[in-house]
Structure 1
Amino acid sequence: MEGLCYIFIFCTLVCSAAAAAVADLHWHPATATWYGSPEGDGSDGGACGYGSLVDVKPFRARVGAVSPVLFKGGEGCGACYKVRCLDRSICSRRAVTVIITDECPGGYCSNGRTHFDLSGAAFGRMAAAGGGGQLRNRGEIPVIYRRTPCKYPGKNIAFHVNEGSTDYWLSLLVEFEDGDGDVGSMHIREANSNEWLEMTHIWGANWCIIAGPLRGPFSVKLTTLSTGRTLSAREVIPRNWTPKATYTSRLNFNF
């Protein structure tokens, strides 16, 4: 089976047998606010480093910033949550699904609070029909939340090579990770090597390695933070890679 994957798709997917599902059946209390324009998509960029991805589908209008307890120094980037308003007088029972793309370190998000700062569009979707504007006028509201698997239909995991990368300093950003959405560790393997080299988490959803000269093509292995599931994409970054380019694998986590 492994040989067939190498021949036909040049990738290997390994799922930890002991991994638990990321979905949380229990709801937890939190608070929520909104930012940006009332019907807007939220932040442009953000502390996770996704850049312009936050302005287009599937991120568009589903992005959110979280307090440090959920941001986890950037390792919480990419995680998905369902958030539901508790005020029955103005809110529907519908939960909105948001993707963590940013951090809100101060104000409502300080002092160890669990807080979501949502795009105006995502915040308004929790309201009963026609009540989006009225709900936004409330400002801070009590909500409940739970983790939920990320779903990017038709998308496979991609690796963006960050600007400034060289043969001696290589930095990667993971995009469109189904399931857990978060990354706990990353490794790369050079061409004609059996050794996986550990990358270092630097900020947001960005990882790097200082070594060299590094010789592509590179295979990339990532392990999720939440459940420890592992995925390895063989030679996903080509020999003639360039900074600011994005290389898409033929794999994703299946949930």
Structure 2
Amino acid sequence: MQRRGGVGFVTLCFIAFLQCLMVSSQVPAPHKSDLHWHPATATWYGSPDGDGSDGGACGYGSLVDVKPLRARVGAVSPVLFKNGEGCGACFKVKCLDKSICSRRAVTIIVTDECPGGYCANGRTHFDLSGAAFGRMAITGENSQLRNRGELPVVYRRTPCKYPGKNIAFYVNEGSTDYWLSLLVEFEDGDGDVGSMHIREANSNEWLEMSHVWGATWCIIRGPLKGPFSVKLTTLSTGRTLSARDVIPRNWSPKATYTSRLNFKL
């Protein structure tokens, strides 16, 4: 499954290696989700009824084109993207013009960053897929709402929900016994990741992984010996989950390994 395009594989691995060496091991202090509505602005991108762009700065790749992410993707400004640690967070967004906007909010998942334009200068902004943007309209007014361009909206954090899915770990291309890189998928609840650790076979020591870019975490050490247990801590509330021996001894790059658990909502 293709995960990311536009960057040469050798270049990407080299950049990730350097970032993994330089990144600080400090974990930001967790903060609780806020259920109050806050003001922001919103635009849309891609085709009018489309799912948004393929891939994105979080590294989810082609996952954004299929359910449960399909048509729920959104790019956010740096204040919400948080250098990639905001990846996977879920928000409810709704517009306020009663003449064209419905009362319902659309739920989106952070999959990308919009660093410039509408998203510059510290603004809180959502750049939604055409489909997600249009769903904020009253019945029959989807196209007219999209024609408005930039809209004032309100937003709030909401728990992520992936019915029937357990947390999965995608092993990024280029991973070896000395450089292991993982991406988290289908995390219920907070959706974001503040820290990740792995534990090797026959070991009691949790090894801290470093945040590289987007939703990608890595560790340089070796030789690493599987099977690996993975422990992740959410950025928003500091909740912790451990998946025992989720990545097998004979793991391989570009493979996804699904756990038997998820955060309880």
- TM normalised by structure 2 equals 0.88
Are positions 1:97 and 2:110 aligned together?
Answer: no
* 1:10 alignment partner in structure 2: none
* 1:70 alignment partner in structure 2: 80
Distance 2:248 2:131 in 1: 39
- Code of the aligned partner of 1:244: K
How much does 1:25 deviate? 2.4
Q: Provide Cα deviations, 1:205-236, integer angstroms capped at 9, x if missing partner.
A: 00000000000000000000000000000000
* 1:208 alignment partner in structure 2: 218
What SS does structure 2 have at the residue aligned with 1:166?
Answer: coil
Distance 1:91 1:109 in 2: 22
- Code of the aligned partner of 2:85: E
Distance 1:25 1:112 in 2: 21
* 2:124 alignment partner in structure 1: 114
How much does 1:43 deviate? 1.3
Distance 2:56 2:32 in 1: 27
What SS does structure 2 have at the residue aligned with 1:102?
Answer: strand
Distance 1:127 1:21 in 2: 30
Query: Where does 1:1-255 land on structure 2 (aligned, <5 Å)?
Result: 22=33, 24-255=34-265
> RMSD value over aligned CA atoms?
1.0
What SS does structure 1 have at the residue aligned with 2:91?
Answer: strand
Distance 1:36 1:20 in 2: 33
Q: Provide Cα deviations, 1:141-188, integer angstroms capped at 9, x if missing partner.
A: 000000000000000000000000000000000000000000000000
- Code of the aligned partner of 2:144: Q
* 2:6 alignment partner in structure 1: none
What SS does structure 1 have at the residue aligned with 2:230?
Answer: strand
Distance 1:113 1:20, change over 3 A: closer
Distance 2:127 2:177 in 1: 38
What SS does structure 2 have at the residue aligned with 1:78?
Answer: coil
Q: Provide Cα deviations, 1:65-94, integer angstroms capped at 9, x if missing partner.
A: 000000000000000000000111110011
- Code of the aligned partner of 1:81: F
Aligned positions, number: 236
Q: Provide Cα deviations, 1:11-31, integer angstroms capped at 9, x if missing partner.
A: xxxxxxxx9874x32100000
Structure 1: unaligned runs, 5 residues or longer: 1-18
What SS does structure 2 have at the residue aligned with 1:208?
Answer: strand
* 1:12 alignment partner in structure 2: none
- Code of the aligned partner of 1:179: G
Distance 1:25 1:76 in 2: 17
Distance 2:211 2:129 in 1: 27
- 2:172–2:182 contact (8 Å) kept in structure 1: yes
Distance 1:204 1:143, change over 3 A: same
Distance 2:104 2:197 in 1: 39
How much does 1:52 deviate? 0.4
- Code of the aligned partner of 1:47: A
Distance 2:31 2:120 in 1: 30
- 2:42–2:152 contact (8 Å) kept in structure 1: yes
Percent identity among equivalent residues? Answer: 87
Distance 2:194 2:53 in 1: 24
